[in-house]
Structure 1
Amino acid sequence: MDIVTGSSTALITPFKNGKLDEQKYADLIKRQIKNGMDAVCPVGTTGESATLTHDEDIRCIEIAVEVCKGTGTKVLAGAGSNATHEAIETAKYAQKCGVDAIFSVSPYYNKPSQEGLYQHYKAIAEAVPELPFMLYNVPGRTGVDILPETAIRLFDDVNNIYGIKEATGSLERTTALLSQRPDFKVFSGDDAIDYPILANGGAGITSVTSNLMPDLKSELVRLALSGDFAGAKAINDKLYPLNSVMFCEANPIPVKAAMYIAGLLDTLEYRLPLVAPSVENMKKIEEVMKNYDIKGM
């Protein structure tokens, strides 16, 4: 099974007049490829997946596969839902589209038990047994935490579950997982702690900030995975102010605003209930961005 590791970007979803801007989406993915990212992740949290229609969700995955075909950049597609049957349907379609792997966010709102999480993920992964499968743990968003023992149980029991995107903000969580299962692929889901997670044995990152800075983010991961921890730390430290301001409001509000300021987006549009940043936060984002060389299209 050819798994996905290394640097990946949690893609934003560009809108124009309320609809998916397909050409801009393709162009943004081409920019990720050009700047060395190992994978792109359509329809995750940063892609406003919770407010995309099913057709939009599928179209984003299709475009990502079309653009990445024949390049070295893989597609790690989102296939999550708080309804297991819906997640299975999306996973099967993603497989049909030709994605390289899928990640699936923990069910939100209904707050299942650890046994419920186990059965949920087992059902989705076993519906696409030949497709590499990554768990996605972001309890601050979903209200439920995939505990280490549950993640390890899934890794042990289900052949195609190979890793987890950890967005708990906890370095201890990475240690808890890798000390027990060194082959379990842990991805950093928090930009500010990419370096320490990689230095502790993490296999990659899924980044919000790399929508803006794919060149530095891909280099950070390349250096860390090749053993140049001093070089990786220097980049992580340099990016800290930008990583911080990207979460001054709920993701993806700041990163979309930053991309608009940088000229990477023609329009600044969100899906309600998300709205543009406050005037104060917009100024903060603009000020921080002055310290970085953001590559154009």
Structure 2
Amino acid sequence: MLKLDETALRGSIPPLITPFRDGAVDEAAYAGLVEFQVENGSHGILVNGTTSEPSSLTLAERNRLVDVALEAAAGRIQVVAATGSQSYAETAELTRHAAGRPGVDALLIVTPYYSRPPQRGILEYYRALNELHDKPWMIYHIPGRAAVDVKVETVKEIDAACPTFVGMKHASLDLAFVSDVLAEVDEDLRIFVGLEELSFPMMAVGACGLMNAAGNLNPKPLAEMCEAVWAGDLFAARALHRRLFEINKAIFWDVNPIPMKYMMKRLGILPRNEHRLPLVPASPDLEKRLDAVLERAGMV
């Protein structure tokens, strides 16, 4: 495992949504979202994560979003680029592009989805990708979408085989997995929480930060939660977690980022609530439910 400075690659690093305008990526709006994260205290941004609708983006669009993010961030905030896809060739192209950008702090590479590879295939996939670059990189572990789990033993093998491996984004309800990986692989492994409802619990057992979609909507409390955990103030962190809990659940009342984009538009963070097929905007009934959540949270 590549050893990082203890202050590097941790904290609240929200996966930014992709704004569209008449079917095209709205680069100006995207740069505005980066600025919003900087102004509200996030510790970093994740480009091209699941929340960005990456499967509806072309490779050129994904690469361009990395460049737009770097230009907007201007070194003021950590930038993590998600470079995985269902295809090794596509992942290699995305990885080479992001790894070649000096301002990218780390890569996040999802387990290849749909193919449901065996554990030895996952190991060889990441070993081959690691040979393409020298950036710190993490596994994006999201079995609910990828339909494959990465076993603890496989993480150990990846750690031994890949010199710049540094951690994982863990988007699973398996809380024990975090303790197992930290104990079996390395206590300094960077584990980011990928499911909002486990933000505080997972940090309490050793996760280093959050990569939560909710950070698109209200970044500051997520950054404050991380900082409270680092300071040892678990009561304050728990209070923030509870305050955010209804919004965290509401994000998944429909497929992410459908509820998120509606709420961002409702709050004026996003100029348009536009998706690419097969995703579509929130239904009128869902809009009413989300409005009520925002009202109870005191956000409208």
Give the structure-2-normalised TM-score: 0.94
What is the match of residue 152 of structure 2? 148
**Which of 37, 54, 57 is the matching residue for 2:59?**
54
- Answering whether residue 107 of structure 2 is matched by residue 102 of structure 1, we say yes
Q: Structure 2 matches for 1:105-254, cutoff 5 A?
A: 105-128=110-133, 130-180=134-184, 181-254=186-259
Query: CA offset at residue 97 of structure 1?
Result: 2.4
Question: How far apart are 1:294 and its partner, in Å?
Answer: 4.7
1:162-212, Cα deviation, whole Å (9 max, x unpaired): 000000122111122112231221110001111111110111110100100
What CA distance in whole angstroms lies between the structure 2 residues aligned with 1:124 and 1:257?
36
Aligned residues: 293
Which SS does the other structure have where 2:276 is aligned? coil
Distance in structure 1 (CA, Å) of the matches to 2:135 and 2:75: 19
| RMSD value, Cα | 1.4
Q: Which amino acid aligns with 1:114?
A: Q
- Select 1:82's aligned residue among 75, 83, 86: 86
Aligned: 1:280 with 2:263: no
Is residue 11–residue 41 contact of structure 1 (8 Å, CA) maintained in 2? yes
Q: Is the 8 A contact 1:84 1:123 kept in 2?
A: no
In 1, Cα distance between equivalents of 2:267 and 2:173 = 28
Give the deviation of 1:157 after TM superposition: 2.4
Match of 1:68 in 2: 73
Amino acid in the other structure paired with 1:144? V
- Give yes or no for contact 2:192–2:208 (8 Å, CA) kept in 1: yes
Q: What's the counterpart of residue 93 of structure 1? A: 97
Aligned with 1:76: secondary structure?
A: strand
Tell me the amino acid that sits aligned with residue 168 of structure 1: S
Partner residue, 2:16: 11
Q: After superposition, give the CA deviation of every residue in 1:101-129 in whole Å (9 maximum; x if it has no partner).
A: 1101110111111111111111112211x
Percent pairwise identity:
33
